[in-house]
Structure 1
Amino acid sequence: MPLWKIYHPPGAFSETDKAELAESLTAVYGAVMPRFYVGIIFEPVDPTQFFVGGKPAGQFVRIVMEHIARSFPSLEASRRFIDRINAILKPYVADRGLDWEFHVDETPFDYWSINGFYPPRAGTPDEVRWREENRASPRTHE
Protein backbone atom coordinates (compact mmCIF):
# COMPACT_ATOMS: atom_id res chain seq x y z
CA MET A 1 0.00 0.00 0.00
CA PRO A 2 1.25 3.43 -0.77
CA LEU A 3 0.56 5.97 1.93
CA TRP A 4 1.28 9.59 1.11
CA LYS A 5 1.61 12.30 3.75
CA ILE A 6 1.66 15.73 2.15
CA TYR A 7 2.75 18.47 4.56
CA HIS A 8 1.94 21.89 3.12
CA PRO A 9 1.32 25.52 4.02
CA PRO A 10 -2.30 26.23 4.94
CA GLY A 11 -4.28 27.22 1.85
CA ALA A 12 -1.69 25.85 -0.58
CA PHE A 13 -4.25 23.44 -2.05
CA SER A 14 -7.96 23.93 -2.60
CA GLU A 15 -10.40 21.08 -2.07
CA THR A 16 -10.49 20.69 -5.87
CA ASP A 17 -6.68 20.58 -5.99
CA LYS A 18 -6.64 17.84 -3.36
CA ALA A 19 -9.23 15.77 -5.21
CA GLU A 20 -7.39 16.17 -8.54
CA LEU A 21 -4.02 15.30 -7.00
CA ALA A 22 -5.45 12.30 -5.17
CA GLU A 23 -7.04 11.00 -8.38
CA SER A 24 -3.90 11.54 -10.48
CA LEU A 25 -1.63 9.92 -7.92
CA THR A 26 -4.01 7.01 -7.36
CA ALA A 27 -4.13 6.44 -11.12
CA VAL A 28 -0.35 5.94 -11.18
CA TYR A 29 -0.63 3.11 -8.69
CA GLY A 30 -3.98 1.84 -9.97
CA ALA A 31 -2.31 0.78 -13.20
CA VAL A 32 -0.52 -2.00 -11.30
CA MET A 33 -2.39 -2.60 -8.04
CA PRO A 34 -5.80 -2.20 -6.41
CA ARG A 35 -6.75 1.47 -6.14
CA PHE A 36 -7.96 1.04 -2.56
CA TYR A 37 -4.35 0.44 -1.50
CA VAL A 38 -3.62 4.15 -2.00
CA GLY A 39 -4.01 6.54 0.95
CA ILE A 40 -3.23 10.25 0.73
CA ILE A 41 -3.23 12.62 3.70
CA PHE A 42 -3.04 16.38 3.22
CA GLU A 43 -1.65 17.93 6.38
CA PRO A 44 -1.51 21.73 6.58
CA VAL A 45 1.39 22.95 8.69
CA ASP A 46 1.65 26.49 10.01
CA PRO A 47 4.85 28.07 8.62
CA THR A 48 5.96 28.91 12.16
CA GLN A 49 5.97 25.16 12.90
CA PHE A 50 7.90 23.98 9.81
CA PHE A 51 11.59 24.78 9.46
CA VAL A 52 13.99 23.94 6.65
CA GLY A 53 17.66 24.77 7.07
CA GLY A 54 16.85 26.36 10.43
CA LYS A 55 14.44 28.89 8.88
CA PRO A 56 10.62 28.97 8.74
CA ALA A 57 9.47 27.28 5.53
CA GLY A 58 6.33 29.15 4.52
CA GLN A 59 6.49 28.08 0.88
CA PHE A 60 7.54 24.47 1.24
CA VAL A 61 5.75 21.19 0.63
CA ARG A 62 7.21 17.98 2.09
CA ILE A 63 5.90 14.61 0.98
CA VAL A 64 6.58 11.27 2.62
CA MET A 65 5.61 8.16 0.65
CA GLU A 66 5.48 4.75 2.25
CA HIS A 67 5.49 1.87 -0.20
CA ILE A 68 4.63 -1.67 0.85
CA ALA A 69 2.67 -3.26 -2.00
CA ARG A 70 5.56 -2.92 -4.45
CA SER A 71 9.28 -2.23 -4.40
CA PHE A 72 11.32 -0.65 -7.14
CA PRO A 73 13.09 -3.39 -9.10
CA SER A 74 15.90 -1.05 -10.19
CA LEU A 75 17.29 2.46 -9.93
CA GLU A 76 15.95 3.15 -13.42
CA ALA A 77 12.42 2.18 -12.34
CA SER A 78 12.64 4.48 -9.30
CA ARG A 79 13.80 7.36 -11.52
CA ARG A 80 10.87 6.81 -13.93
CA PHE A 81 8.47 6.89 -10.98
CA ILE A 82 10.08 10.00 -9.47
CA ASP A 83 9.99 11.81 -12.83
CA ARG A 84 6.33 10.90 -13.29
CA ILE A 85 5.43 12.11 -9.79
CA ASN A 86 7.35 15.37 -10.29
CA ALA A 87 5.39 15.96 -13.50
CA ILE A 88 2.09 15.43 -11.67
CA LEU A 89 3.11 17.71 -8.80
CA LYS A 90 4.55 20.53 -10.94
CA PRO A 91 1.31 22.45 -11.62
CA TYR A 92 0.45 22.34 -7.91
CA VAL A 93 3.83 23.25 -6.48
CA ALA A 94 6.52 24.55 -8.84
CA ASP A 95 4.08 26.51 -10.99
CA ARG A 96 2.76 28.18 -7.82
CA GLY A 97 6.19 29.15 -6.52
CA LEU A 98 6.32 26.44 -3.85
CA ASP A 99 9.45 24.43 -3.15
CA TRP A 100 8.97 20.71 -2.58
CA GLU A 101 10.75 17.57 -1.62
CA PHE A 102 9.71 13.95 -1.29
CA HIS A 103 11.11 10.58 -0.47
CA VAL A 104 9.93 6.99 -0.64
CA ASP A 105 10.30 4.49 2.18
CA GLU A 106 9.94 0.83 1.20
CA THR A 107 8.63 -1.55 3.84
CA PRO A 108 8.89 -5.31 3.31
CA PHE A 109 5.67 -6.68 1.80
CA ASP A 110 5.23 -9.28 4.54
CA TYR A 111 4.82 -6.61 7.27
CA TRP A 112 1.33 -5.58 6.21
CA SER A 113 -2.37 -6.49 6.38
CA ILE A 114 -5.67 -4.90 5.32
CA ASN A 115 -8.87 -5.53 7.28
CA GLY A 116 -7.14 -8.52 8.86
CA PHE A 117 -6.20 -10.08 5.51
CA TYR A 118 -2.67 -10.61 4.23
CA PRO A 119 -2.57 -9.02 0.77
CA PRO A 120 -1.94 -11.27 -2.20
CA ARG A 121 1.27 -11.06 -4.18
CA ALA A 122 1.41 -9.06 -7.39
CA GLY A 123 -0.19 -10.70 -10.39
CA THR A 124 -1.85 -13.54 -8.47
CA PRO A 125 -5.50 -14.47 -9.06
CA ASP A 126 -6.36 -12.99 -5.66
CA GLU A 127 -4.76 -9.68 -6.51
CA VAL A 128 -6.62 -9.60 -9.82
CA ARG A 129 -9.85 -10.15 -7.88
CA TRP A 130 -8.96 -7.47 -5.31
CA ARG A 131 -8.34 -5.02 -8.17
CA GLU A 132 -11.64 -5.87 -9.83
CA GLU A 133 -13.63 -5.69 -6.58
CA ASN A 134 -11.58 -2.74 -5.24
CA ARG A 135 -11.65 -4.19 -1.73
CA ALA A 136 -9.86 -6.65 0.53
CA SER A 137 -11.26 -10.15 0.99
CA PRO A 138 -10.04 -13.60 2.05
CA ARG A 139 -7.31 -15.03 -0.14
CA THR A 140 -8.13 -18.15 -2.10
CA HIS A 141 -4.55 -18.84 -3.31
CA GLU A 142 -1.14 -18.81 -1.65
Structure 2
Amino acid sequence: MPLWQIFHPADAFSPEDKAALAEKITDVYGAVMPRFYVGIVFHPIDPAQFFVGGKPADRFVRIVMEHIARSFPSVEVSRRFIDRINAILKPYVADRGFDWELHVDETPFDYWSINGFYPPRAGTPDEIRWRAENRASPRTRD
Protein backbone atom coordinates (compact mmCIF):
# COMPACT_ATOMS: atom_id res chain seq x y z
CA MET A 1 0.00 0.00 0.00
CA PRO A 2 1.37 3.34 -0.89
CA LEU A 3 -0.07 6.15 1.19
CA TRP A 4 0.72 9.63 -0.01
CA GLN A 5 0.32 12.69 2.17
CA ILE A 6 0.62 15.95 0.29
CA PHE A 7 1.02 19.04 2.47
CA HIS A 8 0.42 22.17 0.43
CA PRO A 9 -0.75 25.79 0.53
CA ALA A 10 -4.55 25.88 0.63
CA ASP A 11 -4.82 27.46 -2.83
CA ALA A 12 -2.21 25.25 -4.56
CA PHE A 13 -4.55 22.71 -6.16
CA SER A 14 -8.10 22.89 -7.47
CA PRO A 15 -10.42 19.91 -6.97
CA GLU A 16 -9.76 19.01 -10.61
CA ASP A 17 -5.98 19.20 -10.05
CA LYS A 18 -6.28 16.85 -7.08
CA ALA A 19 -8.36 14.34 -9.03
CA ALA A 20 -5.98 14.42 -12.02
CA LEU A 21 -2.88 14.13 -9.86
CA ALA A 22 -4.40 11.27 -7.85
CA GLU A 23 -5.24 9.43 -11.07
CA LYS A 24 -1.71 9.86 -12.47
CA ILE A 25 -0.12 8.69 -9.22
CA THR A 26 -2.46 5.71 -9.04
CA ASP A 27 -1.60 4.82 -12.65
CA VAL A 28 2.08 4.48 -11.70
CA TYR A 29 1.33 1.99 -8.96
CA GLY A 30 -1.59 0.33 -10.78
CA ALA A 31 0.83 -1.01 -13.36
CA VAL A 32 2.25 -3.40 -10.74
CA MET A 33 -0.29 -3.72 -7.93
CA PRO A 34 -4.01 -3.41 -7.17
CA ARG A 35 -5.16 0.18 -7.66
CA PHE A 36 -7.13 0.11 -4.40
CA TYR A 37 -3.84 -0.09 -2.51
CA VAL A 38 -3.15 3.57 -3.36
CA GLY A 39 -4.27 6.23 -0.89
CA ILE A 40 -3.63 9.95 -1.40
CA VAL A 41 -4.47 12.60 1.18
CA PHE A 42 -4.21 16.30 0.40
CA HIS A 43 -3.51 18.44 3.46
CA PRO A 44 -4.11 22.13 2.77
CA ILE A 45 -1.97 24.17 5.15
CA ASP A 46 -2.41 27.77 6.22
CA PRO A 47 0.86 29.60 5.40
CA ALA A 48 1.10 30.78 9.00
CA GLN A 49 1.33 27.10 10.06
CA PHE A 50 3.98 25.88 7.58
CA PHE A 51 7.64 26.81 8.03
CA VAL A 52 10.75 25.72 6.17
CA GLY A 53 14.14 26.85 7.44
CA GLY A 54 12.38 28.86 10.14
CA LYS A 55 10.49 30.99 7.59
CA PRO A 56 6.84 30.84 6.48
CA ALA A 57 6.53 28.56 3.44
CA ASP A 58 3.66 29.87 1.35
CA ARG A 59 5.04 28.38 -1.93
CA PHE A 60 6.13 24.95 -0.70
CA VAL A 61 4.71 21.44 -1.16
CA ARG A 62 5.87 18.54 1.03
CA ILE A 63 5.07 14.95 0.04
CA VAL A 64 5.44 11.91 2.28
CA MET A 65 5.05 8.50 0.65
CA GLU A 66 4.69 5.35 2.73
CA HIS A 67 5.36 2.14 0.84
CA ILE A 68 4.39 -1.28 2.16
CA ALA A 69 3.24 -3.35 -0.83
CA ARG A 70 6.62 -3.10 -2.55
CA SER A 71 10.12 -2.03 -1.63
CA PHE A 72 12.92 -0.80 -3.84
CA PRO A 73 15.49 -3.46 -4.72
CA SER A 74 18.22 -0.87 -5.33
CA VAL A 75 19.06 2.81 -5.22
CA GLU A 76 18.92 2.89 -9.02
CA VAL A 77 15.32 1.67 -9.02
CA SER A 78 14.35 4.20 -6.33
CA ARG A 79 15.92 7.01 -8.39
CA ARG A 80 13.98 5.98 -11.51
CA PHE A 81 10.76 5.97 -9.46
CA ILE A 82 11.49 9.37 -7.90
CA ASP A 83 12.41 10.83 -11.30
CA ARG A 84 9.11 9.55 -12.71
CA ILE A 85 7.19 11.06 -9.80
CA ASN A 86 8.99 14.39 -10.18
CA ALA A 87 7.98 14.44 -13.87
CA ILE A 88 4.33 13.86 -12.89
CA LEU A 89 4.51 16.59 -10.24
CA LYS A 90 6.21 19.17 -12.48
CA PRO A 91 3.07 20.71 -14.05
CA TYR A 92 1.43 20.96 -10.62
CA VAL A 93 4.34 22.28 -8.58
CA ALA A 94 7.47 23.41 -10.45
CA ASP A 95 5.58 24.95 -13.37
CA ARG A 96 3.46 26.90 -10.87
CA GLY A 97 6.45 28.26 -8.96
CA PHE A 98 6.29 25.96 -5.93
CA ASP A 99 9.30 24.46 -4.25
CA TRP A 100 8.79 20.86 -3.20
CA GLU A 101 10.33 18.00 -1.33
CA LEU A 102 9.38 14.35 -1.16
CA HIS A 103 10.54 11.19 0.51
CA VAL A 104 9.59 7.53 0.69
CA ASP A 105 9.35 5.46 3.87
CA GLU A 106 9.29 1.69 3.49
CA THR A 107 7.43 -0.42 6.03
CA PRO A 108 7.99 -4.19 6.15
CA PHE A 109 5.32 -6.00 4.12
CA ASP A 110 4.37 -8.28 7.03
CA TYR A 111 3.17 -5.31 9.14
CA TRP A 112 0.08 -4.65 7.08
CA SER A 113 -3.52 -5.76 6.55
CA ILE A 114 -6.52 -4.55 4.54
CA ASN A 115 -10.05 -5.14 5.81
CA GLY A 116 -8.61 -7.76 8.13
CA PHE A 117 -6.88 -9.67 5.32
CA TYR A 118 -3.13 -10.06 4.99
CA PRO A 119 -2.29 -9.03 1.43
CA PRO A 120 -0.82 -11.62 -0.92
CA ARG A 121 2.75 -11.37 -2.13
CA ALA A 122 3.52 -9.72 -5.46
CA GLY A 123 2.71 -11.76 -8.54
CA THR A 124 0.89 -14.55 -6.73
CA PRO A 125 -2.47 -15.84 -7.98
CA ASP A 126 -4.20 -14.14 -5.06
CA GLU A 127 -2.63 -10.77 -5.89
CA ILE A 128 -3.56 -11.21 -9.55
CA ARG A 129 -7.16 -11.82 -8.40
CA TRP A 130 -7.06 -8.78 -6.09
CA ARG A 131 -5.88 -6.64 -9.02
CA ALA A 132 -8.63 -7.95 -11.29
CA GLU A 133 -11.36 -7.52 -8.65
CA ASN A 134 -9.85 -4.24 -7.32
CA ARG A 135 -10.69 -5.21 -3.75
CA ALA A 136 -9.38 -7.21 -0.81
CA SER A 137 -10.74 -10.70 -0.20
CA PRO A 138 -9.70 -13.88 1.61
CA ARG A 139 -6.49 -15.40 0.35
CA THR A 140 -6.68 -18.88 -1.15
CA ARG A 141 -2.97 -19.61 -0.47
CA ASP A 142 -0.28 -18.59 1.99
- Structures share fold, TM-score greater than 0.5: yes
2:78 counterpart of 1:82: no
How many residues are aligned here? 142
Aligned to 2:103: 103
Corresponding letter in the other structure for 1:83? D
2:49 counterpart of 1:56: no
Please report the TM-score for the alignment, with normalisation by the length of structure 2. 1.00
Aligned to 2:4: 4
- Identical pairs, percent: 83
Q: Find the residue that maps to 2:90 and give its secondary structure.
A: helix
Aligned to 1:72: 72
Tell me the distance in 2 between the aligned counterparts of 1:133 and 1:85. 26
Corresponding letter in the other structure for 1:12? A
Aligned to 1:30: 30
Instruction: Give ranges in structure 2 of 5+ residues lacking alignment.
Output: none
Aligned to 1:44: 44
Corresponding letter in the other structure for 1:14? S
Alignment RMSD: 0.3
Deviations 1:99-135 (A, max 9, x none): 0000000000000000000000000000000000000
TM-fit CA distance, 1:11: 1.1
Q: Find the residue that maps to 2:62 and give its secondary structure.
A: strand
Instruction: Give ranges in structure 1 of 5+ residues lacking alignment.
Output: none
Tell me the distance in 2 between the aligned counterparts of 1:92 and 1:31. 22
